[in-house]
Amino acid sequence: MLSLRKGRYLTRLATTKADVEAAQALRHLSFHGTPGLDADRYDDACQHVLVEEARTGRLVCCFRLLPLASGAAISDSYSAQYYELSALKDFSGPMVEMGRFCIHPDVKDPDVLRVAWGAMTAFVDDNGVEMLFGCASFSGTDEAAYLDAFAMLRDRHLAPKRWLPRVKAPQVFRFAERLRRKPDAKLAMRHMPPLLRTYLMMGGWVSDHAVVDRQMNTLHVFTGVEIAAIPPARKKLLRAVAG
């Protein structure tokens, strides 16, 4: 069972209904700014990772993991609701979808994200995962606020053609096709969501379009990371946290 203690934080898998409900409550607060439970039909099939303050037990971060034996099961993923992922059906190795990642809105400590990725690394190593994927979200649905970020994704981080997701959602922003601007690198990175920034540092790639998700008030891109392609220096850092 995943259990990791680093500095002020402890990571573990949810083991009870109360653990899962605590994660759902944090998700609702993070995504909607109000009390409630953010729950859907995928929760029962997922493993839920909790990052807590070691001293107080306060939940500061959570995410869920949906393991798939191979790309043949890609249609069972949350992401498949929004992206046409048939190209990934040919991926032969174990995969895991990372979803509903959130950090408590009052917590600003960058170590929380680092420890969360350490937990993810431990899970990937323990389960022989060969691809990590999910939806990485920009806050709000106005693409104009993120044009430099999208231009950088177009220029440097598009998925390989053999894995490229196709359009499925009714409303999308086709940034690879529509944008003609040269990105301002500083602005791009300033507006890149932290989770997506971490994916990219690991050699991750994205879809050529963003889905407009008005229910969640986000724009999100499909993101994949082939574990074998992660730069060795980045792997070393992540495994140092996970060890």
Query: What is the predicted pLDDT for the residue at 70?
Result: 98
Separation of alpha carbons 222 and 15, rounded Å: 29
Tokens of 158: 């598009």
Average pLDDT for runs of 10 along the chain of length 243: 76 97 98 96 97 96 98 98 97 97 94 90 93 97 96 97 97 96 94 93 96 96 94 78 61
| Cβ(39)–Cβ(45) below 8 Å | no
Helix (H, G, I), strand (E, B) or coil at 240: helix
Specify the pLDDT at position 5.
73
The H or E element containing residue 18 is helix 17-32
Angle separating helix axes 111-127 and 232-242, nearest 10 degrees: 100
Candidates 228, 231, 212; CA nearest to 220 is 212
pLDDT of 66: 98
pLDDT value of residue 163: 97
- φ, ψ of residue 218 to 5 degrees: the values are -140, 160
Closest CA to 132 of 169, 82, 209, 77: 77
* Cα–Cα distance, 103 to 81 (Å, whole number): 24
Q: Residue count of the chain, please give it.
A: 243
The pLDDT, as a whole number, for residue 234 is 81
Q: Name the CATH code of domain 3-242 (choices 3.30.70.3040, 3.40.630.30, 3.40.50.10800, 3.30.420.40).
A: 3.40.630.30
- pLDDT tens-digit series, residues 228-242: 988 888 878 777 765
CA atoms within 13 A on the CB side of 1: 10
Say what the pLDDT of residue 6 is: 72
- Distance, CA of 192 to CA of 69 (rounded, Å): 31
Task: Answer whether 61's CB lies under 8 Å from 40's CB.
Answer: no
* Other C-beta atoms lying within 10 Å of the C-beta of residue 72: 14
